[in-house]
Structure 1
Amino acid sequence: MVNRRRFLTLSSLAGLLPSLSFSAFKSVGSHTKASSLVVRPLAIATWDRVKATEAAQVVLERGGRALDAVEAGVRIPEADPDDMTVGYGGRPDRDGHVTLDACIMDDKGNAGSVTFLEHIMHPISVARAVMEKTPHVMLSGEGALNFALSQGFKKENLLTKKAEKEWREWLKTAQYKPIVNIERHDTIGMLAIDSVGNISGACTTSGLAYKMRGRVGDSPIIGAGLFVDNEIGGACATGLGELVMRTCGSFLVVELMRQGRTPQQACEEAALRIVKKQDFKDIQVGFVAINKKGEHGAFSIQPGFSYTLSQNKKTQVTDAKSYLK
C-alpha cells in the first residue's frame, strides 16, 4: 500500500510531467529551428576567385554536398589558361614542366591528394578519386599520372604559349626571386558548408614559378595547405608553402578553433607563429578559416591578401587583415 507521503510525492511528479514534457519538446523544437537558421550554405576561397566560389555556390543552392561544391569550384581556375598559378596555364618549374599539386577533404575525415602530377588538367578530381577509389591518401608523380589515366582522365599539354614565353624570358637570367602576392599567390584553397551543416575543403596549385623540379609545397599536404574537422571547422593556406608546412598551418588553425578561438583569432595566431620564427619582411602566408557556426576569418603576414565569399546569392572579395600594415 502506498502511504500518504509517497502518494503526494508521486502526485506532484505526475503533475509536473505535462509541463516538463512540453518544455523538453519546446526546447528540442527551438534548437532544431535555430540550427536550421544558422546553417547558411557558403563557399569561401583564397584570393579573388569570384567564378570559383560562385560555381561552388550553385552546387550548394541546389542542396548539393559541400564536397561536390569545393571540387566544382576549384576546377574553374584549374581549367583557366589565364590563371597562371593553378592548373592549365600554370607557370612551369625551372626545367619547363608544369607540375600540379592538390588535395581534398570531406566531412567524414576522408582525404585524397596528388603531388608532382603532370599532364592532367584537373588534379583536384584525381585527388578525389584517390580518396574514394584507393586505400591511400596520396599518390605522386608517375604513379599519380598512371592512376589518373586508368580512371579515364585525359593526358594534355598544360604549358600554354604565354607561360612558355615567360619561362624562356626567365631563363635569360634564371634568377629565382619570387615576388610577394604575385608568384607566391600560388594556390586556390576553398572551404564550403552545405545546407545540412557539413564542411569540406579543396586546395589546388601549380606551385611556385620556376621552382626546383620535384618541389612540392603545402597545398597537397593534409594539415598544412588544408584541414577539415566537421565537428569544429576548416582552414586553408596560401603563400610560401615551406613555412606553412613547418607549422602545420591549417591543422593549427582548426585546433585553435577547437580551443575556443574564433576563425579570425585562429588565423591571426597561426600567422604570428610564423612571424615569430622567420624573417618575414619578404614572405607572404595567408590563412582562411570557417567554423561550424558559419563564421569566417582571414589573415596574412603581408597586406595584399584577399579572399572571396559567396553566400545568400551574393559574392564579395575582401582584403584580409595583415600583420604588416
Structure 2
Amino acid sequence: MHTIIGTWKMSYPALQEANALLAAGAPADEAVVEAIVRVEDNPNYTSVGYGGLPNRDGHVTLDAAFMDGRTLRCGAVICVEDVRNPIRAARLLCGRPENCVLAGRGAEQFARHAGLPMRDMRTEAGMRRWRERVSGLETPLDAYRGHDTVCVLAVDGSGRMAAGTSTSGLFMKEAGRVGDTPLIGSGFYCDMRYGAAAATGMGEDIMRGCLSYEIVSQMRRGASPQDACEEAVRMLAEHMQGLGETGDNISVIALSPDGRCGAATTLATFPFAVGRPASTTLYAAYGDRSPVRAVAPDEVEGEC
C-alpha cells in the first residue's frame, strides 16, 4: 500500500495529484518530485520556488534536495537562482556517485546543461515586499522567521521510499545563507529499511539536532513514526530551552516502510497532508502535544 506525506497546507493539493500517480503505479521518486514541482510553480507560496521572497540583496535563492531510500544516495542544489524547479535538479544529482551536491553557479550550470527550464524567479509581489522592507528600515535587517519548507516523503506499492525538500529560505536572509533543507540528516533522511523523515522551520535550530536522521534512527530502534517525531522534537527543544533559547520554530514529519505516519511541532499548530489509496487528508499536529487530528482546509489560515 502506498502512502505520501507532505508539510503544510500548501502540499495538500499537490499530494492529491501525487497520490493519484502512486495509485496508478508511479514510483515513489516520481510522486515526490511531481508534488514538490506543483508547489514550486505556485507564485502564491512565498517560501518555495517561484514566488519565494528575496534575500537582503534582492535575489531569490533556492535550495532543494532529494534522497533515494534504497541506495541512500542524495542530491542537492544550494543557493541557486533562475532554476524553475530546483527539485528536478536535485533528483538528477541523486543519480551521481560523486559531485551530487552543487551550489551557486555550478548548480545553475548543471541545471542548464541538463536542459531543465530556467526563469527569473523574482515576482512583482515579492520584489514589492522586499522594497517596502528595505525602505522602512531604521535598524539592522532581521530574517523573517518563515517556517514553510515543502517536504514530501513517499513509499510506493513496491516498498521503495523517497524524500524531497525545497525552499527559498528566510525572507531577508544574508547572501549565501544555507539552512537545513538541502543538508542530509538535518532537513531530510530516507532509508527504506526503517523509514523517512523531514523537517521544516528555523534551519539553524534543526541542524543542531540532525533532526531528520535522529527520527529515522529512533524508528530503526523500534519507535513508531509518531513517537519518534515527538521524542526527537522534545529532546532538541528541551536542550535549547536549557540554554535559554526557545526552540519554537521546529516541525517534522515521518513515514515508515509500512505506511504509518508521524508529525510533531513546537508551533501552536502544524498542518500536513497525507495521501493513501482511499483519499488525501489534511491533518494538524499541535505544540501542546494534543492528538493529531484531521482538519478541513478552511480550518487552516492562509494558503500555506
Does TM-score exceed 0.5, indicating one fold? Answer: yes
- Aligned counterpart in structure 2 of residue 202 of structure 1, from 164, 168, 185: 164
How many percent of aligned residue pairs carry the same amino acid? 35
Question: Rg bigger for which structure?
Answer: 1
Residue of structure 2 in register with 1:163 after alignment: 126
Task: Assess if the C-alpha contact under 8 Å between 2:229 and 2:253 holds in 1.
Answer: yes
Task: Assess if the C-alpha contact under 8 Å between 2:64 and 2:87 holds in 1.
Answer: yes
Residue of structure 1 in register with 2:287 after alignment: 322
Please report the TM-score for the alignment, with normalisation by the length of structure 2: 0.89
CA distance in 2, matches of 1:266, 1:169: 42
Letter paired with 1:289? A
Task: Assess if the C-alpha contact under 8 Å between 1:236 and 1:288 holds in 2.
Answer: yes
Question: Taking structure 1 as reference, are residues 237 and 47 closer, same or farther at Cα in structure 2, changes over 3 Å only?
Answer: same
Residue of structure 1 in register with 2:200 after alignment: 238
Task: Assess if the C-alpha contact under 8 Å between 1:267 and 1:288 holds in 2.
Answer: yes
Task: Assess if the C-alpha contact under 8 Å between 2:19 and 2:280 holds in 1.
Answer: no
Shift of 1:123: 0.3
Does residue 1:289 correspond to 2:254, yes or no? yes
| Structure with greater proportional helix content | 1
Letter paired with 1:76? R
Task: Assess if the C-alpha contact under 8 Å between 2:237 and 2:246 holds in 1.
Answer: no
- Aligned counterpart in structure 2 of residue 251 of structure 1, from 213, 221, 224: 213
Gaps of 5+ in 2: 291-304
Please report the TM-score for the alignment, with normalisation by the length of structure 1: 0.83
| Pairwise CA RMSD | 1.6
- How many corresponding residue pairs? 283
- Aligned counterpart in structure 1 of residue 90 of structure 2, from 104, 113, 127: 127
- Aligned counterpart in structure 2 of residue 103 of structure 1, from 45, 55, 65: 65
Residue of structure 1 in register with 2:43 after alignment: 81
- Aligned counterpart in structure 2 of residue 144 of structure 1, from 86, 107, 110: 107
Does residue 1:113 correspond to 2:76, yes or no? yes
Does residue 1:45 correspond to 2:6, yes or no? yes
Shift of 1:199: 1.1
Q: How does 1:244-283 map to 2 (within 5 A)?
A: 244-279=206-241, 281=246, 283=248
CA distance in 2, matches of 1:260, 1:324: 21
Deviations along 1:204-262, whole A, 9 cap, x unmatched? 00001110010011001111111001100000000001111111110000001111111
Shift of 1:176: 4.2
Residue of structure 2 in register with 1:36 after alignment: none
- Aligned counterpart in structure 1 of residue 266 of structure 2, from 298, 301, 304: 301
CA distance in 2, matches of 1:225, 1:216: 11
Gaps of 5+ in 1: 1-39
Shift of 1:317: 1.1
Letter paired with 1:113? A
